[in-house]
Structure 1
Amino acid sequence: MRALADFIMRGRMQAIVVVAGSAALPMLFWLCAAAGSLVLLRRGLSDALGVLVWAVLPALVWWYFGDPRTLLVLLGSFGLALLLRNQNSWPRVMLCSVGLGLLFAWALGVVFGEPIAALATELQKVLPDMLSDAYQQLSVEEQARLGALLTPVLTGLLAALLQITTLLSLMLGRYWQAQLYNPGGFGLEFRALRFSPLVAMLLLVGMLIGPSLGAQMAMLAPLCSVPLVFAGVALIHGLVKQGRMSRFWLVGLYVTLVLFMQLLYPLLAVLAIVDSLFDFRGRASRDDDAGPADGEG
């Protein structure tokens, strides 16, 4: 992967080839976003815009044929990369990704509104079998409210997947930047990711209270969970780096995420909230002089 990053940074033409080519190919929009983020993070907005234009063209073609993911992830990663370059704050990037997720949800509702509604209708039919006695104990009004939540929740889940993809693409671009110009810088940044108690509580409120504010606000639950889960993963990496946990925990973390995501995902969010209160990693060690990932600190 470092060889690819080095190729991207050799010149503008090489960057255009990778960004436009990966945007045109199916299922490589994440690579397009990562390569574009690398250019923006290292060279700035003025140089990145010349590359972005060539990536937007195939992304618009994909949107025309009914797939908005390439354009959404590309523009989303560019926006977050610009924020990261200007403010160098991963917590702010994570928080802004929630707003980005809302834009994703709106776009998905416009493009895939009917299929999502049809899927929600089918799910509503099987809810009595899925929830069995618990569903029968609900009143008619509560059953209707539960059914009304299905469409926005499904939309929010799809938007959260794009939100995660956007953040991972940005992280890959930042990792490439660190590999080329300051090895170890990205790891130092990511392991330091932690929210203040106020911000963590606000995200928790969005997860728990959002659905009660209205059917459309239910999509906040999955979107607000994403920053907390990333902070939970950063916590595990930080504890392993400090020697408080063995590296086996990292292997177990990612294996469990693949096999039992529905169980580990909320646990990581809870860990991030608790860490915001107690700061398990403590103050960052001043002995690590890797510096920022951009290699310019």
Structure 2
Amino acid sequence: MRALAEFIMRGRMQAIVVVAGCAALPMLFWLSAAAGSLVLLRRGLNDALGVLVWAVLPALVWWYFGDPRTLLVLLGSFGLALLLRNQSSWSRVMLCSVGLGLLYAWALGMVFGEPIAALATELQKVLPDMLSDAYQQLSVDEQARLGALLAPVLTGLLAGLLQITTLLSLMLGRYWQALLYNPGGFGLEFRSLRFSALPAMVLLMGMLLGPSLGVQVAMLAPLCSVPLVFAGIALVHGLVAKNRMSRFWLVGLYVTLVLFMQLIYPLLAVVAIVDSLFDFRGRASRDDDAGPANGEG
């Protein structure tokens, strides 16, 4: 990864080759977004614009052929990278990713509205078998409302996946920047990610009350969960680093997250909410040797 980052930052032509080539290849748009984010984070918008436009061109071609994901993730990553460069606040980046997820949901609904509706219809047919007695205890109106929520929630889940991809691409770009110019800086930044009580409660309300506020607002539930889960992961990283614990705990976290997603994912969100109230990491002194991840502090 370091060799690729060094190649990207070697010159404008090398950066264009990576961002344009990865954007043109199937399933590598995340790497193009990370490379473009690295250039933008290090060089700024004016210097990076001549590189980023070459990533957008193949993304527009993908959209023309019916796949908007490449363009959405690229533009989303670049926008959040610009915000991170200007404000150096991961909590604000995470909060803004919710709005970005809403834009993703709108675009996905425009392009994939019919397939999502068809999938929701098929899911509605199997709901009685999936929920068993619980479904039978619902009234006719409640069953109809549950069926109406399927399409927005599915759209929100797809948008949430793109939201996660966007954030991971940005993190990879920020990690590359720290690796080249200030090793250890990204770890310090990420481990300090924490929401104060008010934003955490707003995200919680979006998760819990979204489906009850309206059919279209239901897509807020998966989108609001993403920042909290990242904050929960950052908390675990912070506690492991502060207490000088073995990396085995981090490996275990990611293994269980993959194997038991339905259990660990909401648990991380809950832990992040509790941390916003009690601050488990405390006011630990910062490592003066690391500094900001951009290497310019």
TM-score higher than 0.5: yes
Superposed CA offset, 1:147-174 (max 9, x none): 0000000000000000000000000000
Aligned residues: 297
Distance change in 2, residues 1:244/1:178 (3 Å): closer
TM-score calculated relative to the size of structure 1: 0.99
Matched residues in 2 for 1:124 and 1:25: separation?
36
Compute the displacement of 1:287 (Å): 4.1
8 Å CA contact 1:228–1:268 kept in 2: the answer is yes
Superposed CA offset, 1:89-140 (max 9, x none): 0000000000000000000000000000000000000000000000000000
Matched residues in 1 for 2:264 and 2:280: separation?
19
Matched residues in 2 for 1:184 and 1:248: separation?
19
Compute the displacement of 1:212 (Å): 0.6
Greater mean alpha carbon deviation, residues 253-262 or residues 90-99:
253-262
Distance change in 2, residues 1:287/1:22 (3 Å): closer
Greater mean alpha carbon deviation, residues 172-181 or residues 275-284:
275-284
8 Å CA contact 1:8–1:18 kept in 2: the answer is yes
Superposed CA offset, 1:169-201 (max 9, x none): 000000000000000000000000000011100
Q: Which runs of 4+ in 1 moved over 6 A?
A: none
Distance change in 2, residues 1:244/1:11 (3 Å): closer
Compute the displacement of 1:284 (Å): 3.2
Matched residues in 1 for 2:75 and 2:61: separation?
15
SS at match of 1:286: coil
Compute the displacement of 1:83 (Å): 0.2
Matched residues in 2 for 1:218 and 1:37: separation?
31
Matched residues in 1 for 2:258 and 2:206: separation?
26
Compute the displacement of 1:288 (Å): 3.8
Compute the displacement of 1:37 (Å): 0.2
Matched residues in 1 for 2:160 and 2:120: separation?
17
Compute the displacement of 1:47 (Å): 1.4
SS at match of 2:296: coil
Superposed CA offset, 1:207-266 (max 9, x none): 001111100000000000000000000000000001165422211110011111111000
Matched residues in 1 for 2:67 and 2:245: separation?
42
8 Å CA contact 1:16–1:54 kept in 2: the answer is yes
Matched residues in 2 for 1:249 and 1:93: separation?
26
Matched residues in 2 for 1:287 and 1:253: separation?
24
8 Å CA contact 1:41–1:81 kept in 2: the answer is yes
Alignment partner of 1:289 is 2:289: yes
SS at match of 1:294: coil
Superposed CA offset, 1:58-101 (max 9, x none): 10111111111110000000000000000000000000000000
Greater mean alpha carbon deviation, residues 215-224 or residues 243-252:
243-252
8 Å CA contact 1:210–1:217 kept in 2: the answer is yes
What is the aligned-residue RMSD (CA, Å)? 0.8
Matched residues in 2 for 1:90 and 1:125: separation?
42
Greater mean alpha carbon deviation, residues 250-259 or residues 121-130:
250-259
Matched residues in 2 for 1:187 and 1:240: separation?
12
8 Å CA contact 1:192–1:284 kept in 2: the answer is no
SS at match of 2:253: helix
8 Å CA contact 1:59–1:71 kept in 2: the answer is yes
Matched residues in 1 for 2:231 and 2:178: separation?
20
Greater mean alpha carbon deviation, residues 30-39 or residues 60-69:
60-69
Compute the displacement of 1:34 (Å): 0.1
Compute the displacement of 1:283 (Å): 1.0
Matched residues in 2 for 1:172 and 1:287: separation?
22
SS at match of 1:193: coil
TM-score calculated relative to the size of structure 2: 0.99
Matched residues in 1 for 2:226 and 2:287: separation?
31
Identity among equivalent pairs (%): 91
